[in-house]
Amino acid sequence: MSDPQGSPIRRDHPSPLVAPVLVELGSAGRATSTFTLDAAEPLLAGHYPGFPIFPGVCLVECAHLTALGAVTAGSATPVELAAIESARFLGPVFPGDTVHTQTVAEAVQDGWRCRAELAAEAPGGGPRRQVAVVRLRYGAGPA
Amino acid sequence: MIDSAGIQRLLPHRHPMLLIDEVLEATAGESLVAVKAVTADEPCYAGLPEGGADDAYPPTLLVESWCQAAALLACLDAPNPDVLTGRVALFGGIAGLRFSRPVRPGDLLVHRARLVRLFDEAAVLSGTSEVDGVTVLEVEQVVIAFREAGEFAPGAGGADAEAARTASGHGR
């Protein structure tokens, strides 16, 4: 199996995505990321044949990986996704689009709550379209 | 009750995103039970470090798998396995999904979906996923929106959102 550029796939965690979600950590629990949806991303072959469209859960995956970066950076113990409190899908993401994710994490009594806003940018630039708003909760993972 | 070939006559999803193996029970307009076996051979595990400790099935794929069971229930009466024509089932929104323990290769997921409300353009569903009788996922609400395929081409963004808002305005 190879990635969209033909190189062997390398991942550091199980994921539906092959191309990387590139996360940059900010301050005060903030993080941003970009993910460019290559037309050769393997999951598009099955979602759907002849009509490739990025699955809504993969937008949640972008939000999760971005928020997890911010949450684990501030934690000495492992954390894991405890809940998707809500997700609203506001528009489609097609091959070639870049997904820009902004998250902010807040420590709560038993973990962290994160809010993510996701926008898509068509190839060649242009205005960003809001595509999803996701709220996630994290708790302590296995030690 | 419905095997993989039958599922492919109901859903447009295909490998590697067809995440239901078999439907065990289905009552149109009410409820459905479907299974998926998680294996170490899943595409999501390709390319991990040798002997890596993290073998938890991605929670997002668990959700997708449950949602496919929900989509099967929502379209039992009017299936459309061809996304290029007719109505397409889209993810409108989700609320209150709780993960109670990780899923790993070797686990057999049993998804239970219940139809809460059905509208012309959307369905609201809830349910659970279990492994060996233990709940691994609780789903308070998922909204699936139905849109005409032609309305939903590149450039026609946001079509699904409208239906989702309509549904959540009436639901619950």
Predicted confidence at residue A125, as pLDDT, reads 85
- CA of B53 vs chain A CAs: smallest distance (Å): 9
Query: Looking at CA atoms only, how far is residue B24 from chain A in angstroms?
Result: 23
A132 vs B161, higher pLDDT: A132
Peptide bond into A48 cis (omega under 30): yes
User: Residues 6 or more apart from B125 whose CB is under 8 A from it?
Assistant: B70, B73, B74, B113, B114, B115, B116, B139, B141, B142, B144
- Euclidean distance between CA atoms B117 and A56, whole angstroms: 21
Output B134 or B81, whichever has higher pLDDT. B134
Residue B139 has pLDDT above 80, yes or no: yes
d(CA A122, CA A126): 6
Confidence at A9, pLDDT banded by 50, 70, 90: confident
Name the one residue in this structure whose structure tokens are 């998707």: A84
- For B59, which of A18, A81, A131 is closest by C-beta distance? A81
Contact at 8 Å (CB) between B163 and B171? Answer: no
The predicted-structure confidence for B81-127, as pLDDT tens digits, reads as follows 676 667 777 888 999 999 999 999 999 999 999 999 988 889 999 99
- Cβ of A83 within 8 Å of Cβ of B98? The answer is yes
Out of B12, B17, B160, whose CB is closest to A89? B160
Q: Is A13 a catalytic residue?
A: no
Question: What's the pTM value of the predicted model, to 2 decimals?
Answer: 0.90
ipTM: 0.93
C-alpha to C-alpha distance for B169 and B172, rounded to whole angstroms:
8
- Locus of tokens 């899923």: B103
Q: Give the bridge partners for A24, in sequence order.
A: A32
Q: How many CA atoms lie within 13 A of A128 on its CB side?
A: 13
Cβ distance B125 to A118 under 8 Å? no
